[in-house]
């Protein structure tokens, strides 16, 4: 083969290669293709969740008033249930969560003439950052802010309501108050080895009471009121829900 023919073949192959590279450059990856390459499973970074556990209060000022009037005191150990949304960035480095939670308990005593029903609604914002990891698990810590709405119903335990005589029926009393908490949050997180998704989070919090309104009657004026300034801590198990 002559040198001229060899140069021609070489030049043809070279130009063909350049043309193929140009075609690839002219057809860049779409955003969906890039996302699929960088993060093939979007669901593992965001999910709804259930949060179950309990909260323990250091003290409750209203209890001394209830006991003095022969009304059952409110338990310091509360059952907790919450629902919310989680978002995490790559490698589970940061976790952001918003949660709506509920505490509830009833207090009864057959030897007393009154019972009570107690409930709380909580709006929580939580941020945690991963600081240590191991195989299929990691630790994270951060802050939690919580705004609390509380309701307490006090009522006679043997009352009968006559709809024809509502004005002489026994009256129930409903008291309410609100409070704001801020405190540290610590979690232990389990990761699935099959799909690298979050399986469970064990969350522990300590909430400092930074602001609390006085107890107020839902209807009518309130005299000799006071606020609740006790802090609380909780332990809960978060269960992710993927859709």
Distance between CA 168 and CA 162 in Å, rounded? 8
With CA atoms as reference, report the closest residue to 128 among 198, 64, 81.
Answer: 198
> What fold, for 43-241?
Porin (2.40.160)
Q: What tokens were used for 142?
A: 């951060």
Q: Quick: pLDDT tens for 15-30.
A: 555 566 555 544 565 6
Q: Is 66 helix (H, G, I), strand (E, B) or coil?
A: helix
**Per residue in 47-76, pLDDT tens?**
899 999 999 998 889 999 888 888 888 988
Tokens of 26: 């002219």
**Per-residue pLDDT, 175:** 92
- pLDDT for res 157: 79
| Contact between 17 and 9 (Cβ < 8 Å) | no
Percent pLDDT > 70 in the chain is 79
Q: Give pLDDT tens digits for 127-165.
A: 999 999 998 899 999 999 999 999 999 888 777 777 777
Share of the chain above pLDDT 90, in %: 44
Q: What CA–CA distance (Å, rounded) separates 41 from 37? A: 10
Cβ atoms 201, 238 nearer than 8 A: yes
Q: Rounded to whole angstroms, how far apart are CA atoms 237 and 143?
A: 17
Question: Measured in whole angstroms, how far is the alpha carbon of residue 192 from the centre of its chain?
Answer: 21
Distance, in Å, from the CA atom of 128 to the CA atom of 110, rounded to the nearest integer, reads: 46
Q: Is the pLDDT of residue 109 over 80?
A: no
Q: Give, in degrees to the nearest 5, the angle at Cα 230 between 219 and 185.
A: 115
Provide the residue ranges of all domains of the chain, joining segments of one domain with +.
Answer: 1-38, 43-241
What CA–CA distance (Å, rounded) separates 87 from 198? 11
């Amino acid at each position: 083969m002559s040198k001229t023919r060899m140069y021609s073949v070489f030049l043809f192959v070279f130009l063909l290669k350049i043309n193929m590279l140009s075609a690839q450059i002219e057809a860049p990856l779409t955003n969906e293709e890039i996302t699929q390459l960088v993060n093939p499973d979007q669901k593992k970074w965001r999910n709804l969740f259930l949060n179950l556990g309990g909260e323990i209060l250091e003290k409750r000022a209203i209890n001394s008033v209830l006991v003095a009037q022969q009304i059952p005191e409110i338990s310091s150990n509360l059952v907790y249930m919450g629902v919310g949304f989680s978002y995490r960035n790559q490698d589970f480095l940061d976790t952001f969560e918003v949660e709506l939670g509920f505490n509830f308990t009833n207090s009864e005593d057959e030897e007393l003439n009154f019972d009570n029903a107690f409930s709380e609604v909580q709006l929580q914002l939580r941020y945690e950052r991963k600081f240590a990891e191991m195989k299929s698990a990691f630790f994270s810590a951060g802050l939690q802010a919580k705004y609390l709405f509380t309701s307490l119903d006090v009522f006679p335990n043997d009352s009968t309501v006559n709809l024809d005589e509502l004005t002489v029926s026994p009256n129930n009393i409903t008291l309410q108050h609100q409070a704001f908490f801020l405190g540290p949050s610590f979690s232990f997180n389990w990761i699935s080895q099959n799909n690298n998704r979050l399986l469970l989070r064990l969350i522990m919090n300590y909430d400092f009471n930074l602001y609390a309104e006085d107890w107020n009657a839902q209807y009518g004026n309130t005299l000799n009121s006071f606020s609740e300034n006790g802090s609380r801590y909780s332990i809960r198990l978060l269960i992710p829900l993927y859709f």
